[in-house]
């Protein structure tokens, strides 16, 4: 923690457990809210989502046993936020079993509202995962989907129109990329855990290769210049 007379954030460095506990504080000060959002955005760089959820689940149960209702409620809300911001590919079988166990415990304890809230988040993430896994076409490069361009036909359009259409295609894929995918890629570079980022990269590489091919395959010397 920083001294009171010093400027900057209250927390400079700490162990993952301390950072996690600090993110569950009930203080609603602006700097505390900013810290919580920063934690949710960056925790994957030093701890896995499975560990975060497991620790939050343990803390929630411990606080409930100690009858600290306010702290327990705040811990649960942070857990829901973590689940809500999970990337679809992060919800593996082990994590799913952990969350289902928590939902069951909430039902047994009579916390029907909290159980419903967590269950809804889990189902939403599972639906996203099923859609992704159930659509193998989305993980295939454009060349494998039978998408091809015939050199010469596109030269009938203005370069600005072509650029706009290519940008629209890029933007559609770019908007699908989730922040966890970028953080996971920086650590593991695993295509299965970053499917949208992988698809965007494949699309970019395919378009770049296609543009180079169109230019090189022109018969007349001046035709490559017209491609621009």
Domain shared by 122 and 160, yes or no: no
Domain shared by 123 and 166, yes or no: no
Does some domain include residue 7? Answer: no
Domain shared by 122 and 144, yes or no: no
Rounded distance between C-alpha atoms, residue 48 and residue 73, angstroms: 22
Interior CA angle at 140 toward 135 and 142, to 5°?
A: 120
Please list the alpha-helical segments (H only) found in the chain: 16-23, 30-42, 49-65, 69-84, 93-108, 112-133, 159-174, 179-187, 195-216, 223-226
Single pTM value for the model: 0.55
Listed residues 106, 133, 160: the one ending a domain: 133
Domain shared by 145 and 214, yes or no: yes
Does some domain include residue 9? Answer: no
Domain shared by 103 and 145, yes or no: no
Cβ–Cβ under 8 Å, residues 207 and 166: yes
The pLDDT assigned to 43 comes to: 86
Does some domain include residue 164? Answer: yes
Q: What is the CATH number of the domain that holds 74?
A: 1.20.870.10
Confidence of residue 147 (pLDDT cuts 50, 70, 90): very low
Rounded distance between C-alpha atoms, residue 128 and residue 182, angstroms: 18
Domain hosting 32: range is 16-133
Biggest alpha carbon–alpha carbon distance for the chain: 81
Domain shared by 24 and 123, yes or no: yes
Q: Which residues contact 70 (CB under 8 A, 6 or more apart)?
A: 26
Domain shared by 98 and 148, yes or no: no
Q: How many domains does the chain have?
A: 2
Domain shared by 147 and 128, yes or no: no
Cβ–Cβ under 8 Å, residues 120 and 99: no
Share of the chain above pLDDT 70, in %: 77
Domain shared by 90 and 31, yes or no: yes
E-assigned strand segments in the chain: none
The pLDDT assigned to 212 comes to: 80
Cβ–Cβ under 8 Å, residues 60 and 75: yes
Q: pLDDT, tens digit, for every residue of 59-85?
A: 888 888 877 778 888 888 888 888 888
Residue-wise burial string across 166-179, b where 16 or more C-beta atoms lie within 10 A, e elsewhere = eeeeeeebeeebbe
Rounded distance between C-alpha atoms, residue 23 and residue 36, angstroms: 5
């Amino acid at each position: 923690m920083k001294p009171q007379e010093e400027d900057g954030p209250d927390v400079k460095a700490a162990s993952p457990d301390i950072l996690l506990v600090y993110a569950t504080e009930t203080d609603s000060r602006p700097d505390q809210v900013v810290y919580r959002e920063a934690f949710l955005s960056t925790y994957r760089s030093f701890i896995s989502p499975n560990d975060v959820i497991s620790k939050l689940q343990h803390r929630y149960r411990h606080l409930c046993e100690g009858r600290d209702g306010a702290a327990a409620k705040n811990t649960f809300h942070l857990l829901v936020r973590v689940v809500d911001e999970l990337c679809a590919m992060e919800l593996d079988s082990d994590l799913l079993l952990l969350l289902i166990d928590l939902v069951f415990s909430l039902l047994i304890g009579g916390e029907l509202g909290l159980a419903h809230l967590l269950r809804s988040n889990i189902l939403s993430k599972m639906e996203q995962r099923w859609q992704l896994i159930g659509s193998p076409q989305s993980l295939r490069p454009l060349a494998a989907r039978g998408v091809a361009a015939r050199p010469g036909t596109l030269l009938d359009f203005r370069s600005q129109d072509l650029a706009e259409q290519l940008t629209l295609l890029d933007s559609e894929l770019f908007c699908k990329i989730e922040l966890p995918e970028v953080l996971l890629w920086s650590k593991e570079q695993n295509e299965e855990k970053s499917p949208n980022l992988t698809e965007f990269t494949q699309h970019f590489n395919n378009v770049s290769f296609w543009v180079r091919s169109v230019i090189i395959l022109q018969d007349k010397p001046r035709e490559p210049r017209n491609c621009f």
